[in-house]
């Protein structure tokens, strides 16, 4: 479903009047493939290139080299119209639910906006969009009574549910989850993770799950890749990787895990 082939991203060196910054190699020859219906985990520490990679997939940024194929199509070659249509298929939930909702918009406007933008593809009129927004809110554990509230009236966990509803609104097949629980309280983390698992089963979604929390990854993901300084160090089935790590980096990472990891989500 999603093929990432030898993607590199170098942020160019800058020479300015007041000093220079050297070039940064944020991603180096990254190759991954995500299969339909699975949860693919990407683990890495801060600054390892996780977020840069999501920006490439969303085409908020352009790779220096390499290709990204979604359902067999090279995203770089799509016409602007085709790219817009494709954006309905690939959605993202960001890490910080406090920053990722526009404070001036009501929940209704936030959740219906993707449907408004993709109305040509989805074919929903105003009333249908509002109805669907109410359905989506119920799907993520909120309700129609929350439609006309504003983001600041919600807790972190509720906001993340709104973000999930917004991501589901255009009917995506792939959802990128960029550390969707790391900004939340531990008790709320489990609720949101369980919601994500439930949604995946009901809607047949494919997840690309980014985290630095190995416990969460182990709980959610079928396969996992480790990224370190912009390079993929190891990838494979989650269970295999946890049981028999191949690279030194994976071993040191697993050794650094607190002993009760894997039970955080309270299965």
Partner 1 sequence: MTDVSQDSRRSARAEASRRAFYRFRQSRLSMVGATMVAVVLFFTLFGNLLAPYPEHVRGGLNTAERFQAPSLAHPFGTNELGQDVLSLVMAGTPVSVAAGFAVVLIGTVLGVVVGALAGFNGGWIDDVLMRFSDLMLTIPSLILAMAVAAALGPGFVNMIIAIALSWWPGYARLVRGEVLQAREEVYVAAARAIGASPARVLFRHILPNIVSPIIVKMSLDMGFAILTVAALGFIGIGVRPPTPEWGTLLSIARNYMPDFWWTAVFPGLAMFLAVFGFNLLGDGLRDVLDPRARR
Q: What is the DSSP letter of 174?
A: E
The answer to whether 99 contacts partner 1 (rule: CB under 8 A) is yes
Residue 118 structure tokens: 């993709």
The answer to whether 245 contacts partner 1 (rule: CB under 8 A) is no
Contact assessment for residue 225 and residue 40, using Cβ atoms and an 8 Å cutoff: yes
Of the candidates 98, 102, 12, 122, which has an alpha carbon nearest to the alpha carbon of residue 61? 12
d(CA 153, CA 48) in angstroms, rounded, equals 34
The answer to whether 17 contacts partner 1 (rule: CB under 8 A) is no
Residue 175 structure tokens: 């959802």
6 or 148: whose CB is closer to partner 1?
Answer: 148
Question: Which SS3 state, helix, strand or coil, does residue 146 take?
Answer: helix
Nearest distance, CB of residue 150 and partner 1, angstroms: 6
Interface mask toward partner 1 for 161-190; x: CB under 8 A: --x--x--xx--------------------
Nearest distance, CB of residue 58 and partner 1, angstroms: 5
Subset of residues 114 to 153 that bind partner 1, contact rule: CB under 8 A: 114, 117-118, 149-150, 152-153
Of the candidates 44, 32, 45, 46, which has an alpha carbon nearest to the alpha carbon of residue 1? 32
Instruction: Say what angle helices 156-168 and 126-139 make with each other, to 10 degrees.
Output: 130
The answer to whether 101 contacts partner 1 (rule: CB under 8 A) is yes
For partner 1, which residue of 39, 91, 206, 211 counts as binding (CB under 8 A)?
Answer: 91
Which residues contact partner 1 by CB under 8 A? 58, 60, 84, 87-88, 91-92, 94, 96, 99-105, 113-114, 117-118, 149-150, 152-153, 163, 166, 169-170
């Amino acid at each position: 479903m999603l093929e990432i082939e030898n993607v590199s991203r170098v942020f160019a060196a800058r020479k300015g009047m007041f000093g220079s910054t050297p070039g940064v190699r944020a991603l180096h020859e990254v190759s991954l493939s995500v299969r339909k219906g699975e949860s693919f985990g990407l683990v890495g520490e801060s600054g390892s290139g996780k977020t840069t990679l999501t920006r490439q997939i969303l085409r908020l940024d352009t790779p220096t080299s390499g290709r990204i194929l979604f359902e067999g199509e090279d995203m770089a070659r799509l016409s602007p119209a085709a790219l817009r249509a494709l954006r309905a298929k690939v959605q993202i939930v960001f890490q910080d639910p406090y920053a990722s909702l526009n404070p001036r918009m009501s929940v209704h406007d936030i959740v219906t906006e993707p449907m408004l933008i993709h109305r040509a593809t989805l074919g929903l009129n105003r009333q249908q969009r509002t109805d669907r927004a109410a359905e989506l809110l119920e799907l993520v554990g909120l309700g129609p009574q929350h439609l006309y509230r504003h983001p600041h009236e919600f807790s972190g966990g509720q906001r993340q549910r709104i973000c999930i509803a917004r991501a589901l609104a255009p009917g995506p097949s792939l959802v990128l989850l960029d550390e969707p629980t790391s900004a939340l309280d531990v008790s709320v983390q489990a609720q949101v993770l369980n919601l994500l698992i439930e949604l995946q089963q009901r809607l047949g979604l494919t997840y690309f799950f980014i985290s630095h929390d190995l416990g969460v990854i182990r709980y959610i993901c079928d396969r996992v890749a480790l990224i370190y300084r912009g390079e993929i160090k190891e990838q494979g089935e989650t269970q295999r990787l946890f049981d028999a790590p191949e690279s030194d980096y994976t071993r040191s990472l697993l050794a650094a895990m607190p002993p009760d990891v894997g039970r955080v989500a309270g299965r």
